[in-house]
Structure 1
């Protein structure tokens, strides 16, 4: 019986190792659309390369915006809540100003963990106008000093823009 269980366990472990293995296959035969002056095949340069993915994994970052870029100014990029009681739910509003010439479009605000919930201006922020990004923090699962962040994805050159906050969680 122990031998059978050992074989089953090894089979499951072996299968798990094989199924989690990331394969990096390159395209062997790209679509050929013509020949150059030496009669060598030429691939279509407009075809995007295929990137293999592993089931159950996500892309590292959201796709960059197709909107024309603009510039952004933050009232602050870091906020200190100071001392807060464990279990307190606090929030802070970061003010953003569109300092460019195109509408500012915030496509996503992605917090670093589940303890932080974002809300943000969803409509385009016109040049010279202001918008808001609110980060709400639930301190229930923390003790002592913490630092958290959220990445702001928008149509700006250096996206994502990182917003951070600190807190000292007291019992």
Structure 2
């Protein structure tokens, strides 16, 4: 029993020493990023190349990977949509049109809805400058009553990502 406790204690101390680095700098070309790994809740994931370290936040499940594409700009046909009154149990969808108004291809890397009642679909291939793409949000009203407000975050190679798309509906029995 003492041997087991000693091993556990040494393991915890060893993990504490590894995760107590105040700052870990990664340099890629002319870009430098700093990762603070002072918490055991924020471990660093290491790829096959030991010089590349990617910080992993405590809420990594909700964060999308950063795009390595050059930034561009985007225009939305709308960022909020109102379905109005819909009957409980109906499945509805809305298409948000996106236009690449920049000079680099627009790449939508991920769309993360705020809850499981909303399923996204989006243009997966790069959207060339001046061209349009779409993000479709499919909503299942089965588990809701009354007014609902839902959202999804669109992660793309734009400066102010994520872009929040929202919709409202009044679910009637």
Question: Matches of 2:83 and 2:26 in 1, distance apart?
Answer: 51
Task: Say what the alpha-carbon RMSD is for the aligned residues.
Answer: 2.5
Correspondence for 2:114 among 112, 115, 121: 112
Q: Return the offset for 1:129.
A: 0.1
Match of residue 26 from structure 1: 20
Unaligned runs of 5+ in 2: 1-15, 28-32, 44-57
Match of residue 98 from structure 1: 100
Q: What are the superposed Cα offsets for residues 47-72 of structure 1, whole Å, 9 maximum, x if unpaired? A: 954623379x5415223211000000
Question: Matches of 1:54 and 1:161 in 2, distance apart?
Answer: 25
Tell whether 2:47 aligns with 1:53. no
Judged with a 3 Å threshold, the aligned counterparts in structure 2 of structure 1 residues 126 and 140 are, in CA distance, closer, same or farther, namely same
Moved over 6 A (4+): none
More strand per residue: 2
TM-score (norm 2): 0.71
| Aligned residue pair count | 135
Unaligned runs of 5+ in 1: 1-22, 31-42
Q: Which has the larger radius of gyration?
A: 1
TM-score (norm 1): 0.71
Match of residue 73 from structure 1: 75
Q: Return the offset for 1:26.
A: 2.0
